[in-house]
């Protein structure tokens, strides 16, 4: 690469890393909502949309065909009583800070990038970790009368990890009406160009 192109590429990277004022954004979340700031363990993170009109999905996020099983299209409602939500509702939950947003994917996926403010409770560990969500152990398993509001997600409409976790939670006594399912998951979150962090 010629030196002038290298300098230009480095300059563009530096500019991309600079903070952008909300009133300077070209691509907002909604007409009235340019950004959302959420509290994370590492401090506040501002979620915004990708501003590069030439940005494209790549790698696993651009794949449209996966073997089914196990990567089958998931239902809109993974269990009776559970509410399925979209990105705006998930942003409300993150911004409000009252619900626990759970990335139910395995740790390798979580560390590769997640939604700001999400905590990782892998789908295959959720049954043993309900105490982190307000449930108390009892003689029959769990008493979830004080369970917190939660929202679970995984890799997208073809990912069965969060639906599996939701069914385990309900079977253990977690109230379905306190569970939200973000079906779009990381694939749709990335498709919309929303902020992803590496924990």
Catalytic residue among 135, 144, 154, 159: 154
> Is 154 annotated in the active site?
yes
Looking at beta carbons, which pairs linking 44-49 to residues 24 or more positions away fall under 8 Å? 45/116, 45/117, 45/195, 45/197, 46/195, 47/91, 47/94, 47/116, 47/194, 47/195, 48/20, 48/22, 48/194, 48/195, 49/25, 49/192, 49/193, 49/194
- Measured between alpha carbons, how far is 166 from 127 in angstroms, rounded to an integer? 10
Q: What Cα–Cα distance (Å) separates residue 89 from each residue in 14, 59, 99, 161, 169? A: 32, 27, 11, 20, 21
Q: Give DSSP secondary structure letters for 138-170.
A: ETTEEE-TTPPPEEEE-S-TT--HHHHHHHHHH
Contact criterion met (CB below 8 Å) for 97 and 105: no
Contact criterion met (CB below 8 Å) for 163 and 107: no
Residues annotated as catalytic (active site), given as ranges: 154
């Amino acid at each position: 690469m010629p030196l002038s192109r290298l300098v230009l590429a480095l300059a563009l990277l530096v500019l991309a890393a600079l903070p952008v004022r909300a009133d300077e954004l070209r691509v907002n979340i909604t007409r009235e909502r340019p950004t959302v700031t959420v509290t994370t363990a590492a401090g506040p993170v501002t979620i915004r949309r990708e501003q590069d009109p030439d940005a494209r999905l790549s790698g696993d996020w651009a794949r449209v065909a996966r073997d089914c099983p196990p990567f089958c299209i998931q239902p809109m409602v993974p269990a009776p009583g559970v509410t399925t939500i979209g990105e705006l509702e998930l942003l409300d939950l993150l911004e409000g800070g009252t619900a626990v947003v759970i990335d139910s994917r395995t740790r390798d996926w979580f560390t590769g990038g997640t939604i700001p403010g999400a905590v990782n409770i892998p789908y295959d560990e959720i049954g043993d970790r309900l105490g982190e969500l307000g449930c108390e152990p009892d003689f029959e398993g769990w008493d979830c009368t004080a369970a917190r509001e939660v929202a679970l997600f995984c890799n997208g409409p073809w990912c069965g990890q969060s639906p599996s976790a939701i069914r385990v939670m309900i079977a253990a006594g977690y109230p379905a009406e306190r569970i939200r399912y973000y079906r779009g998951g990381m694939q749709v979150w990335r498709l919309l160009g929303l902020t992803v962090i590496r924990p």
